[in-house]
Amino acid sequence: MSLNYQQSGVDIEAGYRAVSLMKESVQMTMRPEVLSSLGGFAGAFSAEAFKQMRHPVLLSGTDGVGTKTEIAVRMGIHDTIGIDCVAMCVNDIAAQGAEPLFFLDYIACGKNVPETIAAIVKGVAEGCKQAGCALIGGETAEHPGLMPETDYDLAGFAVGVAEQEELIDGSSVSKGDVLIGIASSGVHANGFSLVRRILKDRSISLSAPLSGASGSVGEVLLTPTKIYVKALREIRTAGVSVCGISHITGGGFYENIPRMLPDGIRVRIRKTAFDVPPVFSWIMKEGGVAEQEMYGTFNMGLGMVLAVRETDAERTLEAIRTAGERPYLLGETVSGEKGVELC
């Protein structure tokens, strides 16, 4: 008896159908620089525009959405998780002063269900649209026997460009700078292993209401990560030279904020200066999680923290509002051992 690829668990026809279903979503992300079409062996992106830059530098970032995918699978909602994936990558490169150019995704799944894959890519395309970058390629890999049929993992990477002299590396942060935060949309895509442990230990249903929030536990947890490219672009347009930017991801305040600080500088942040979304109070209460652990794991309502000169503070706040985001005046930088002081 002969054996074929489909009998081993890989359905090539399903892959073709998934590509067909995602074409329209991918098309809406196209930029003039894209030279390739969906289905090629590689994505092509013209570098012609770089000729007009003085010292162009390419920046890249890669990330995934971790175990947030389990919530998406359990909820049967697959068209927002892709936004998270794009956000985690483009926010990282935008935090260093780059403009995202293009994105590629990678989906590993136990079984290729074309409608599910297309829904995931629809979210990826929406994230790319929000970031102004093109989705120029990707890969869907079916892993029969290695992953449960209903499971999938999602990751990707982005490439952006910046003038070398406009890169933001935190080296110019100094004592007396003003700290400005940009509100998050919730948990974003970090800390879900802890969240899932709480759900399991407390036998909490994803359909249960979440106190203080509009929506069920599952709906609130699946709220997509904010993409801050537009806000950071508005700040540049306003003529502000940002000294440092921290994208608050895994590791929360204590790991991420010091990444934008030079030695001898620490930040002082007032906890009363920003609103903590109800989902974090819920996690803290249901899980019995200590406050120190919360600030060391989650974004607590701040997706980005910026350091700017005091003279640029008002212009920065206004630019963030113009982009449709909510800014907070958080505190300031002080002399001392590099780190974070919450007061």
Average pLDDT over residues 231-249: 96
**pLDDT of the residue at 79:** 95
Q: Is pLDDT at 305 greater than 70 in this prediction?
A: yes
What is the pLDDT confidence band of residue 22, given thresholds at 50, 70 and 90?
low
Percent of the chain scoring above 90 in pLDDT = 79
Dihedral sign for Cα 63, 253, 229, 185, please: positive
Do 131 and 227 share a domain, yes or no?
A: no
What are 107-136's pLDDT values in tens digits?
999 998 889 999 999 999 999 999 999 999
Choose the final residue of a domain: 166, 189, 204. Answer: 166
What are 67-117's pLDDT values in tens digits?
999 999 999 999 999 999 999 999 999 999 999 999 999 999 999 888 999
CATH number at residue 122: 3.30.1330.10
Give a yes or no: residue 2 inside a domain.
no
Strands 178-183 and 327-335 come out as antiparallel
Give a yes or no: residue 99 inside a domain.
yes
Q: Is pLDDT at 9 greater than 70 in this prediction?
A: no
Give a yes or no: residue 141 inside a domain.
yes
Q: Is pLDDT at 20 greater than 90 in this prediction?
A: no
Average pLDDT over residues 54-64: 95
What is the pLDDT confidence band of residue 169, given thresholds at 50, 70 and 90?
very high
Rounded Cα–Cα distance for residues 230 and 239 (Å) = 15
Range of the domain at 255: 178-342
**pLDDT of the residue at 18:** 61
SS (H, E, C) the chain: CCCCCHHHCCCHHHHHHHHHHHHHHHHCCCCCCECCCCCCCCCCECCHHHHHCCCEEEEEEEEECCCHHHHHHHHCCCCCHHHHHHHHHHHHHHCCCCEEEEEEEEEEECCCCHHHHHHHHHHHHHHHHHHCCEEEEEEEEECECCECCCCEEEEEEEEEEEEHHHCCCCCCCCCCCEEEEEECCCCCCCCHHHHHHHHHHCCCCCCCECCCCCCEHHHHHCCCCCCCHHHHHHHHHCCCCCCEEEECCCCHHHHHHHHHCCCCEEEEECHHHCCCCHHHHHHHHHHCCCHHHHHCCCCCCEEEEEEECHHHHHHHHHHHHHCCCCEEEEEEEEECCCEEEEC
**pLDDT of the residue at 10:** 59
Do 71 and 182 share a domain, yes or no?
A: no
Give a yes or no: residue 27 inside a domain.
yes
Which of 14-28, 88-102, 167-181, 183-197 has the weakest average pLDDT? 14-28
**pLDDT of the residue at 7:** 52
What is the pLDDT confidence band of residue 25, given thresholds at 50, 70 and 90?
confident
CATH number at residue 261: 3.90.650.10
Of the two residues 15 and 67, the one the predictor is more confident about is 67
Do 19 and 159 share a domain, yes or no?
A: yes
**pLDDT of the residue at 27:** 80
Do 186 and 137 share a domain, yes or no?
A: no
Average pLDDT over residues 305-319: 97
What are 201-210's pLDDT values in tens digits?
999 999 999 9
Give a yes or no: residue 139 inside a domain.
yes
**pLDDT of the residue at 207:** 95
Question: What angle separates helix 81-94 from helix 229-237, to the nearest 10 degrees?
Answer: 30
Do 203 and 152 share a domain, yes or no?
A: no
Average pLDDT over residues 208-214: 89
Give a yes or no: residue 1 inside a domain.
no
**pLDDT of the residue at 88:** 97
Average pLDDT over residues 173-187: 97
**pLDDT of the residue at 3:** 55
Do 119 and 255 share a domain, yes or no?
A: no
Choose the final residue of a domain: 166, 186, 216. Answer: 166
What are 135-158's pLDDT values in tens digits?
998 899 989 888 898 999 999 999
Give a yes or no: residue 287 inside a domain.
yes
Percent of the chain scoring above 70 in pLDDT = 93
Do 161 and 183 share a domain, yes or no?
A: no
Q: How many domains does the chain have?
A: 2
Choose the final residue of a domain: 166, 199, 232. Answer: 166
Give a yes or no: residue 88 inside a domain.
yes
Predicted TM-score (pTM) above 0.85 = yes
Rounded Cα–Cα distance for residues 282 and 62 (Å) = 30
Do 124 and 182 share a domain, yes or no?
A: no
